[in-house]
Structure 1
Amino acid sequence: MDTVQSLKEKIHIVDGTSIKRMILYFCGTEMEDEFRSVTEYGIEERSEVIVFLKSSTREMVNNNRPPGKFINVVVETSSSLLNSAKIPIEILDSSRVDEMGKLLLERKILPVDEYIFIHKQRVMNDGCSLRWHGVENGDYIYVFKGTVGGGEC
């Protein structure tokens, strides 16, 4: 039943970060209401909350998205898709998996269909960021036709 404010206070106690400078994000959404419960944002045990610090030069990507850094990854398709193609792409690590899929569709790299993305032998959740999944520069992401239900960031 912690509030966003109490979460900020706990972060302050752990590392001394100024509460007034903190901006908290969960699944790409800024947690704005200081008196809202963190469970109202869908936060559960082991959820990743991203902390950014306000500064005079702070820039936001796509208005409500924490800034990210560009990473280069290789998307490798299964043998049933494009004969096991390896596709290098540059993308923000704050991009969600579904946004990466849309990018591949828009560039006509993948045909229109539903896909499962795998990173380090784990199925990736469409609504979670690449950063949340631990994707780093130079990593491989594997794509297969199909769907998987459930899962939270």
Structure 2
Amino acid sequence: MKIIIVTKSYEFSIDVGTQEPIKEIKKKIQHFLGVSIDSQILKVCDWELIDGLDLDDYPLISDGTKMYLSTKYTPPLLPQPSKMKITVKFSARKIDIEVDKTDTLKSLKEKIHIVDGTPIRRMPLFFNGTEMEDEFRSLSDYGINESSEIIVYLKNMGRVVGDLPTRRVGVVVQTSSSLMNSAKIAVEMNDTSRVDELRQMLLERRMLPLDDYIFIHKQRIMRDDCSLRWHGVENGDYLYVFKGSVSRGG
């Protein structure tokens, strides 16, 4: 027999058996209209037809009966947020950092360095008890999610410095207009040289007037008693000089 499927826009007929399951009718509609079975609602005289029943369970359905088709609303999938906050735990403190799931381990270390000042070479990072070593894998590849906790075990810098040979690094010292005419000064030093040695060299060469200065590397104030290597200074980096001094609490 034939039944007529009525939608909001048009109607069409399909051939069915007298004992055909309701779900089989929905499969035919899916093939014809592309509407998934789970989204279909079929009604006859305001009675919804149940998937587990057959046509002969509905005596009022006969040849030429109209079935009214509507569809369930399925809300669109919202894009998953890529930003998340994680906790970075040191031995005596914690910091919260906002990261992107696509960030790499390398970029996470750079963010920790900017926020906390910890040199990148000192920070092996551990997640779920395992050291993360591939700096170009994304955080999502490591299984890191919202509120994940990353552990930092700081390396002993004395041992690290001793293990690595001294290198010459060329940096650019950028002075501010408050010191003199703004200038870029190319300097080459050993990466084991301290910041106060860099300061003294610039004064002796009269590249800076006698005054108190602070040096900035990658948005962090540099410590006079620590080396360029300790601060993570690499060949070609910029060091910015401003008037002022830093007092550190005891």
Which one of the candidate residues 130, 137, 141 is aligned to 2:228? 130
Which one of the candidate residues 37, 49, 70 is aligned to 2:157? 49
Question: Residue in 1 aligned with 2:244?
Answer: 146
Structure 1's 140 and 97: CA in aligned 2 closer, same or farther, altered over 3 A? same
Contact 1:67-1:94 at 8 Å conserved across structures: no
Distance between the aligned counterparts of 2:165 and 2:211, measured in 1?
30
- Name the aligned partner's letter for residue 157 of structure 2: V
Give me the identity figure in percent: 60
Distance between the aligned counterparts of 2:249 and 2:170, measured in 1?
26
Q: TM-score, normalised by structure 2?
A: 0.36
- State how 1:4-153 maps to structure 2 within 5 Å: 46=154, 48-51=156-159, 52=162, 68-150=166-248
Q: TM-score, normalised by structure 1?
A: 0.57
Structure 1's 131 and 98: CA in aligned 2 closer, same or farther, altered over 3 A? same
Structure 1's 151 and 122: CA in aligned 2 closer, same or farther, altered over 3 A? farther
Listed as ranges, the gaps of 5+ residues in structure 2 are 1-152
Q: Which has the higher strand share?
A: 2
Distance between the aligned counterparts of 1:151 and 1:107, measured in 2?
32
> Structure 1 residue runs of 4+, over 3 Å off?
45-48
- Please tell me whether Structure 1 or Structure 2 has the larger radius of gyration of its CA atoms: 2
Distance between the aligned counterparts of 2:248 and 2:214, measured in 1?
13
Larger relative contact order (C-alpha < 8 A, sep ≥ 6)?
Answer: 1
Distance between the aligned counterparts of 1:110 and 1:67, measured in 2?
30
Contact 1:76-1:142 at 8 Å conserved across structures: yes
